[in-house]
Amino acid sequence: MTPTEILAVTAIAYLQPGTRAELSRLAGKEISRDVIGALKRHGLIDDTLRAPESGAPFAYVTTKKVLEVFGLATLRDLPDIKQLEDE
């Protein structure tokens, strides 16, 4: 996985569900459709319903494979985002 793919899947894990625009804002750089496509091919994310905003973009969630890849029992095991920001 590329650093951008790791950043995107991590952002999705915290946002659940998150649109590509929200991911880009959080990452501070554009998250391309290619990155989303790669994560879907890896089986790490899936799209859910369309977000209730202008243009009705897809919103993405992580799959159970993310837990396996990152060695987590649940998403609650993710580090606290506020603590990460402080560090």
Chain segment 44-69, per-residue pLDDT in tens: 999 887 777 777 888 899 999 999 99
**Sequence-ordered list of residues with C-beta below 8 angstroms from that of 48, at least 6 positions apart, any chain:** 17, 58, 59, 60, 61
Average pLDDT (30-40) is: 94
Tokens of 67: 């837990």
- Please tell me the predicted confidence (pLDDT) of residue 47: 84
> CA-to-CA distance for 35 and 30, rounded, in angstroms?
10
Q: How far apart are CA 8 and CA 55, in angstroms?
A: 21
